[in-house]
Amino acid sequence: METEEIKKDDRTLFGFWVYLMTDLIMFGALFAAYVVLRDGTFGGPPGAWLFNLNEALTETLILLTSSFTCGLAMLAAHRGRRVWTTVLFVATFALGAAFLTTELREFGALIAGGNVPQRSAFLSAFFTLVGTHGLHIAIGLLWLLVGIIHVWVRGLTPATISKLSRFALFWHFLDVVWIFIFSVVYLLGVAT
């Protein structure tokens, strides 16, 4: 019986890695589109005029810190420390929510300034790439909330830890994607 559960968990983990790879392909296509279209401003403002590098750096630090707290939460989960697991995942949630709030505030400021996706190919590619990442963060926050509830309702069972491990992979993946967004979109956007 236990061997069947291990095999099932291995298949589930493999399937999750396949999902992450499909997400990687999707983000790769979005990055390619952005790089091709980033000079397509159609007379509108380029990224250097729109992007606030300090705000993007703050977002980066917030998300990287959330990845750190997520890693610590997984260490606590593997050690059977339910309270620490919960505290660290709540910190991860708060940091992820702060990141998403900052990103939505940036989108709101751009839209209020008339810099909507329809204005240029550059803005369309920007909103699509960064917005897709933000949507993934929102989904991750919902997933994390469910995970925290599982920790308290079901405890740190092997099944719960397995689910939390897949969430952690997803969250770290989003951090890696953000590093590329920060570098390609914001750093290169301000430099040009």
Residue indicated by tokens 């291995």: 10
pLDDT tens for the 192 residues of the chain, in order: 466 766 777 788 899 999 999 999 999 999 999 999 999 888 889 999 999 999 999 999 999 999 999 999 999 999 999 999 999 999 999 999 999 999 999 999 999 999 999 999 999 999 999 999 999 999 999 999 999 999 999 999 999 999 999 999 999 999 999 999 999 999 999 886
How far apart, in whole angstroms, are the C-alpha atoms of residue 95 and residue 134? 13
How far apart, in whole angstroms, are the C-alpha atoms of residue 189 and residue 182? 9
The full set of domains in the chain, from first to last, is 2-191 (1.20.120.80)
In the prediction, which pLDDT does 6 show? 63
Residue indicated by tokens 């491990």: 165
Q: What CA–CA distances, in Å, run from 70 to 107, 162, 174?
A: 26, 14, 12
In the prediction, which pLDDT does 10 show? 79
CB of 51 within 8 A of CB of 182?
A: no
Tokens (6 digits) for 98: 């702060």
In the prediction, which pLDDT does 1 show? 43
pLDDT tens, position by position, 43-86: 889 999 999 999 999 999 999 999 999 999 999 999 999 999 99
